[in-house]
Structure 1
Amino acid sequence: MPIQSPMDQRVAIVTGGSRGIGRQVAERLAADGFAVVVGYAGNKDAADDVVKTIEAAGGSAYAARADVGDETAVAALFDLAEATYGGIDAVVHAAGRMLLSPVAELDLGELDALYHTNIRGTFVVDQQAVRRLRPGGALVNFSTSVVGLAFPGYGAYAASKGAVEALTLILARELRGRDVTVNAVAPGPTATELFLDGKDEETIARLAAQPPLERLGTPQDIAGVVSFLVGPEGRWINGQVVRANGGII
């Protein structure tokens, strides 16, 4: 367990922080001066590696396991963050699950598992976040640019993230007077293990050519957007979905 942080230490919880975009967000926020709680679902070794990387760079972090759809586990994660660091200033909900299938062929059992993480998980994490974030805090959810792009095969995934966007906009209004911002980041095609898995080189090349910048996004690109939204210069951005996709329309 890390030592108690100074009273002026800003503290962030990053769910899905053991790999991909979540990992880059955790490392970026640590570099920005946050103490970081790295939430993970099952890969303890990967989460511990993120913590070691942050600590090697002079930051403070620890890893905590929680199924984001389990309200008891998520409440315990937030309890531990408050007990360890004294409070919470940013919550970045990057945990997610992707399922690709034509709607007609969709396995409804897999759909339920997807929605457990992407919809119920967002409600559970956001509920704890809005109860506990300190004034000046920020909540960032993750959507996807596919909500607008409507790629075939992404029906279940895009539907789940459409729910995330709706919840984000409503929460921003429900928190009137709290001095807490609520936004969502909606990445386009981004070179993560989750995105690349199961795609052939031709498909990857086609997707990379879609943005006017003619490349895939990187986890670092997305982490920079999150850093802005939870930082002092992002305080006037509230109730928005930021489509971080290199200009795909």
Structure 2
Amino acid sequence: MPSNLGPGVKAAVFAQLTDAGRAEQVAQRLADGIALGVLQPGERLPSEPELVRRFGVALITVREALGILRTAGVLETRRGRGGGSFVVGQGGDQDDMLAARVRRLSPMELADIAVIFGALASASAAAAAGRATEDEVARVTRWLDAADYSSAAAARMNQGGFQLELAVLSQSPRLVREQIRLQAESGSVLLAGLDDEATRSDVRAADRRILRAVQRRQPGAARSAVEALEQALLRRVLASRIEGARQEVSDGRTS
């Protein structure tokens, strides 16, 4: 299944490295793209020469990085016609894994993740309000209008994609890199509450307000819209955590 995230997001994954020559950096960038769903199970990576060109590293570095990912079990290499390096599915029930991760975090830890998310998204939105072109904002607006928020899984992928697109609009490679790193490490946690239909609707509306503020060159309004988004996500993930804990207690009593 091809990724339905915007082209700016995938371009960010394959952007040139600032410290060329380290296989671990290439492997981490690709692993982050896989973790975020930008690179999906079954998808073929660009050829080795193309990866060399995009990352700005040596061929031996690319090959070593691919070897790291094969050892980790997230890539497989196929020979012959139609061969190449392909993303391997991570397996398991991702919803259950995410719910378990949320339950392991304290409310303070979840609030801390929300603060970091808000700071990064606010910086991206404010920068985008001063730098993004009308065509770029229009492209992301069209993408958001077409994005699927009908289920929790689709909403999490597309909301993560929106946050990345916002960083791309900022025209700041550093903000893009930090957004990729944040989402790969803990971004999905804050999106656990998107299992609630009303929250999905509120979040999408907040995304639209952010884009309108960016389009109107209003950094203050963009920051305020991001803050509202951050609080909506945090409230719902905290409620989801409580609901999950209650369910665990109930399951324990009935087992």
Common fold: TM-score over 0.5: no
More helix by share: 2
Larger radius of gyration: 2
Relative to the length of structure 1, the TM-score reads: 0.28
Relative to the length of structure 2, the TM-score reads: 0.28
More strand by share: 1
